[in-house]
């Protein structure tokens, strides 16, 4: 145990966060996302699991160390509801609250169509899979500078 580091952040996740630079992207997803398949195509090249942790809890922990990019309009992206691009599920509002609280301001979260999200995820630095059952718990965070 280390002082000041949230216990939800395991050693592998901390290592990946340290490797990331400005503009690199981190995918945080629920248990339903094809994370293992897509993770092989990321810069990190393998999946990071935070078993036993839900999406908002993982995001809260990550965002204690991870500054969001202020040089882009939408430093967070999420997957749209299939067949209902304007559709909302509870995790969208919950994640918006976590992100806004962590940054101390309103942060734009951009919706992406399912397959566009998968393509963006393949270009990310790493994928972090939570134990959250979903649905639509798929987010991409762009890293900024402190």
What does 77-121 look like in DSSP terms, one character per residue? EEEPBTTBTT---HHHHHHHHHHHHHHTS---EEEE-HHHHHHHH
Flag whether 42 is in a domain: yes
User: How many residues does this entry show for the chain?
Assistant: 146
Flag whether 96 is in a domain: yes
Q: Among residues 24, 30, 69, 132, which one is catalytic? A: 69
Flag whether 60 is in a domain: yes
Percentage of residues of the chain with pLDDT beyond 70? 99
CA distance 73 to 38: 25
Write the pLDDT tens digit of every residue in 29-41. Answer: 999 999 999 999 9
Flag whether 9 is in a domain: no
Mean of pLDDT values over 63-88: 97
Q: Among residues 30, 33, 49, 118, which one is catalytic? A: 118
CATH of the domain at 64: 3.40.1650.10
Flag whether 11 is in a domain: no
- Has residue 59 got a pLDDT over 70? yes
Domain count for the chain:
1
Flag whether 6 is in a domain: no
Flag whether 74 is in a domain: yes
Mean of pLDDT values over 50-58: 96
* Structural domain for 69, as ranges: 25-142
Flag whether 97 is in a domain: yes
Residue 22 appears among annotated catalytic residues: yes
CA distance 28 to 56: 10
Residue 33 appears among annotated catalytic residues: no
């Amino acid at each position: 145990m280390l002082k000041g580091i949230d216990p939800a952040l395991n050693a592998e996740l901390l290592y990946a966060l340290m490797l990331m630079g400005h503009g690199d992207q981190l995918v945080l997803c629920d248990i339903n996302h094809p994370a293992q398949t897509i993770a092989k195509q990321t810069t990190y090249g393998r999946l990071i699991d935070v078993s036993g942790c839900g999406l908002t809890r993982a995001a809260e922990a990550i965002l204690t160390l991870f500054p969001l990019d202020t040089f882009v309009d939408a430093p967070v992206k999420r997957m749209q509801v299939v067949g209902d691009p304007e559709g909302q599920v509870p995790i969208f509002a919950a994640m918006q609250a976590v992100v806004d609280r962590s940054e101390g301001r309103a942060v734009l979260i951009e919706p992406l169509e399912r397959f566009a999200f998968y393509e963006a995820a393949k270009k990310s630095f790493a994928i972090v899979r939570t134990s959250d059952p979903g649905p639509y718990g798929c987010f991409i965070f762009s890293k900024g500078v402190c």
